[in-house]
Amino acid sequence: MSVLSRPYFHCEAAAFEHVEEMLWPNGPHCPHCGNAGKIYELKGVRSKPSKKNPEGVERYGLKKCAECRKQFTVRIGTIFEESHIPLHKWLQAIYLMCSSKKGISSNQLARVLEITVKSAWFLSHRIREAMRSGELEPMGGAGKEVEGDETYFGNKDVITTRTKRGKAGLSSKRAVVSLVERGGSVRSFHVDRADKQTVTSIVNENVNKESAFYTDESRLYNDVHGTFAGGSERVHHAASEYVRGPAHTNTLEGYYSIFKRGMKGVYQHCSEKHLHRYLAEFDFRYNNRIKLGVADPERAEKALKNVKGRRLLYRDSFQALS
């Protein structure tokens, strides 16, 4: 037996039951009027006949509100809304994306799910929206250690600066600033420019001042060093110093190695307008890793519970596919 042998990965009716259990733990409620009282379950209803399905397709999970009299399913108000892809294939895609450490390409998803590459590309972006955490609480705290670092990945869509040798310099690269709490979570930010003002703002808004804070020798962190009650130190990579007591940025370097290997080896191309979604994907898997007690099935369930209110419209994204 395999994990993918579970009924909700193959049976549409079981898929609706599973999603309803995750999203409606206290029973169904109407997404139109909010009624959680009397809800009718409609069984045996079929869609209109078509050339492909002359007898129509059974509409699983269909319900009707006793208050506003409108019909709905658990798909309404989620990343699944108005999608023609069967729900059990959505669940397969969520599991594959959550269990693949370096991601899974749209071409691979299209082959596995037997859908078009265009559909697989958009489906994966919707799932990345569900992976977005949106946490606001500061990281770290008294007795905890936080690392800060930045990296540069790929060329900007509009390159404005080049080095004397004609190669793209750092100012023409896409900048990513990340913060990680040792033994905890990571937060990554795609910024237009990694300058001192931007980095200072990110650190001040996302790191608890009771923490100990560690960076490399970059001058971008000059304004935040000395502001932490737990102390702050630098390591000097240019002088081949990578660890000095508790001071190092090796945790973030490890995270960046996974991110870059996934982006270069699996995804290969990423439009700059979507980089924040790929960062959310890698952050999600790191923040729900096995070392923190989250196995693949639990990670997929966490993503599934976040599908509400995360709908992404294709017309806002399709230009990046070309």
Report pLDDT digits (tens) over 44-79. 898 888 888 888 888 999 999 999 999 999 999 999
**Mean pLDDT of the region 29-38:** 92
Instruction: Answer for the pair 275, 190: CB distance below 8 angstroms, yes or no.
Output: yes
122-166 pLDDT, tens digit per residue, is 999 999 999 998 778 999 999 999 999 999 988 877 654 444 444
Domain extent listing, the chain: 145-270
**Mean pLDDT of the region 285-304:** 96
How confident is the model at residue 163, as a pLDDT?
Answer: 44
**Mean pLDDT of the region 23-43:** 93
pTM of the prediction? 0.90
Mean pLDDT in the chain? 91
How confident is the model at residue 170, as a pLDDT?
Answer: 56
Domain 145-270: CATH class, spelled out: alpha beta
77-105 pLDDT, tens digit per residue, is 999 998 999 999 999 999 999 999 999 99
